[in-house]
Amino acid sequence: MENKNSFLTLFLMPVKDFLEDDSVSEILINGPEQVYIERAGRLVEVPVRFVSEPALRAAAANIAKSVGRILDEMHPRLDARLPDGSRVHAVIPPLSRIGTVIAIRKFKKDTLTIAKMQEFGSVDADTVNLLRALVLLHKNVIVSGSTSSGKTSVLNALSAFIPDGERVLVIEDATELQLQQRHVVPFETRKADKNGQGEVTIRDLIRSALRLRPDRIVIGEIRGGEALDLLQALNTGHAGSMSTIHANSPIDCLRRIETCALLSGIDVPLQALRAQVASAIGAVVHTARLSDGSRKVVSIAEVLPLENNEYRVRELRRWTTESIAPDGKVSGRFEELARPSFVEQARMVGIDL
């Protein structure tokens, strides 16, 4: 692994220091002349350059080659994972008009725990209590939010509440989750080869997972038609499962799941599909990156039955921003908005809500 990392660093020499800097979470290369990094939630341009466009493109092609992928005129987009777990996406001309574009999302060596989230102010004690109840009561939970809002980190932290004796099957496009339980079975999708064969999708792996006696299924992210397979799994006894999705609010999360399910190619009446979404999802945990770069769980909402065929949620907790200091730091508080419907159930498992 060290040799592979050294090989990759050799081709990405201009950004070598940022690859090795644990405080840098993302490296964005916009052609040979412009590089940005994300540090502490803020994007800043850095004064480094690549020698030329051919040199940058060669670096991208070698990254692809090192992980068994192809990046050329016939395959102008690359989705790959580096040996250290970092995620790489690259797009080359003519699709990109400014030269080769590479985004490297670095793999965090330290797992974000609930305790660390509390220390960073991403959640408060009452929010932690509510999250623990959702997991222990086997509520199906979707973590929603925008890009880089911390969805995967929150999902990983949530998974820590899963009791150690349960069998958990984890399905991802690229391995990012780091579940600590003993009985975890991880799966990863596979891209098609240069002949367009051998692809294994999230949908394929969900179908396999259902035959492997899971107590819970954890899916890294819902992006497409696999949403329908997940809904059917959740509605047939696999309670306590979790996933993430890009969305702007808890209600938008449910609509996005509906939209993704419609991409499955299976004709399902809209009313029946909405009923499946509303009955399958127990709660939505919504994350956001605030203007000062901090990431927070800004809303936890319980999903209610449909009314007039429209989605409904009851927001249980919410982050409210109260002020923004001259240096940009955001201050506010978490507040309780409603009493959960599962207070008595929570009490039975020793949680006082």
- Beta-strand relationship, 295-307 and 310-324: antiparallel
Residue 120 tokens read as: 């960073």
Under 8 Å CB-to-CB from 237, ≥6 apart: which residues? none
Contact 220, 87 (CB under 8 A): no
Q: What is the pLDDT of residue 9?
A: 66
How big is the CA angle at 5 (ends 295 and 33), to the nearest 5 degrees? 70
Three-state secondary structure call for residue 26: strand
Are the C-beta atoms of 286 and 275 separated by less than 8 Å?
Answer: no
**pLDDT (tens digit per residue) in 80-121:** 877 777 889 999 999 999 999 999 988 776 677 889 999 989
Q: How confident is the model at residue 332 (pLDDT cuts 50, 70, 90)?
A: very high
Q: What does the block give as tokens for 211?
A: 């035959």
Give the model confidence (pLDDT) of 29-56 as tens digits. 999 999 999 987 788 999 999 999 999 9
Q: Which of 14-18, 41-45, 83-87, 138-142 has the lowest mean pLDDT?
A: 83-87
How high is the pLDDT of residue 1? 43
The amino acid present at 82, given as its one-letter code, is L
Higher per-residue confidence, 111 vs 266: 266
Q: How far, in Å, CA of 166 to CA of 180, rounded?
A: 12
CA quadruple 315, 317, 323, 326: dihedral sign:
negative
pTM of the predicted model, to two decimals?
0.83
Give the pLDDT confidence score for residue 2 in this predicted structure. Answer: 47
Asked whether the beta carbons of 26 and 6 are under 8 A apart, the reply is no
Secondary structure E strands in the chain = 24-30, 35-39, 42-46, 77-81, 87-91, 101-105, 141-145, 168-172, 184-188, 216-219, 242-246, 283-289, 295-307, 310-324, 330-336
Least confident range from 2-16, 264-278, 289-303: namely: 2-16
- Phi, psi angle pair for 259, to nearest 5°: -60, -45
Domains contained in the chain, CATH given: 2-105 (3.30.450.90), 114-348 (3.40.50.300)
Q: Taking 50 as the threshold, does the pLDDT of residue 3 lie above it?
A: no
Furthest-apart CA pair in the chain: how many Å? 64
* Nearest alpha carbon to residue 132 among 21, 255, 252, 240: 240
| Sign (positive or negative) of CA dihedral 24, 28, 29, 35 | negative
